[in-house]
A = this chain, B = another copy of it.
């Protein structure tokens, strides 16, 4: 079968590989219908993921149809249209038992190796799914593949920024960085907030945010936009979805006293120079979160089904699996906001 593999830094290849097979009783095999590229894929793409193994099949967001299931699988059956969770979890470790699924002791990310145990991804014709009872979820009939693929990772991540940020009715919310995750945060916050200020240097991204009802501004305009919206008080919640340090710096400035900076951008800096003076004076809460599709997928799929959210509106490029090398180049160059591939 065809599979998109990362052979080395910036070397994406579409290869013919052996089809996956059921290994454990909890496994399922899924025939992929649609799969998306994620910003997190750019870390291994640039060789920044220690221990990443050459040849790992990429992709942790996909929608497909169940082909086969092991004896222990009861939650899905062949023929079901399903979406995955970007990370797998065992459901039995102390973290899972306490509801902290994203911290599962056995967690692994589809399409990754090195920092987690290797797990072949979904940018392929077929993919093996461990713990399928937990890792797959049946998509309601009225939800399209296009929308459902966002439930694997992007939408729960954006939503986590809002949920763990504690956005309340009438708040002013800032979203820093309106790539896909940031746009999902805008979409999750806009009905509850009185104003969502979306900050991004790229006009196309600001424009997508504005279509969702946000006020789009450039990084330079952020401070004055917040000033105007809050009579100088500062934003109730700032969602940092850019994953870069200037955005984190800005978050502390833009948030109001006793407000929350909710970080959903990925961060790996071992020594970010945090302004403790500001943290202390303003009694800020700085909270990092990983999206949790296991927890939130039902709620989010129901919300999509009700017509309240339409995540697929952010897709800018639709390509075939064969075009994966080009897709990664475009995405890396920020010429595409969101790319989906179909086998």
Seen from chain A, the residues whose Cβ lies within 8 Å of a Cβ on chain B are: 72, 74-75, 92, 94-95, 97-100, 102-103, 133, 159, 162-163, 169-170, 188, 190-192, 194-195, 229, 231, 233, 248, 257-258, 263, 266-277, 279-280, 282-290, 298-300, 302-303, 306, 308
Contact = CB atoms under 8 A, between A and B. Distances in A.
23 contacts: A75-B92, A97-B298, A100-B258, A163-B169, A169-B188, A170-B303, A195-B306, A263-B279, A266-B280, A267-B276, A268-B276, A270-B275, A270-B277, A272-B275, A272-B276, A273-B273, A274-B274, A276-B288, A282-B288, A283-B290, A285-B286, A285-B287, A286-B286
B163 A159 contact: no
A124 to B, nearest CB: 28
A103 B302 contact: no
Copies in the complex: 4
Contacts of A248: 276
A170 B151 CA distance: 14
Contacts of A266: 280
Contacts of A98: 298
Contacts of A92: 74-75, 133
A288 B263 CA distance: 16
A154 to B, nearest CB: 16
Given A268-B276, A282-B288, 13 more contacts: A95-B233, A162-B169, A169-B299, A169-B303, A191-B192, A267-B276, A271-B275, A272-B273, A272-B274, A274-B274, A276-B288, A285-B285, A285-B287
Given A98-B298, A100-B258, A274-B272, A267 B280 contact: yes
Contacts of A267: 276-277, 279-280
Contacts of A231: 94
A147 to B, nearest CB: 14
A218 B178 CA distance: 42
A267 B275 CA distance: 9
Tell me which of A231, A266, A280, A306 has the highest count of chain B C-beta atoms within 10 A of its own C-beta: A280
B306 A103 contact: no
B233 A283 contact: no
A272 B102 CA distance: 27
B276 A194 contact: no
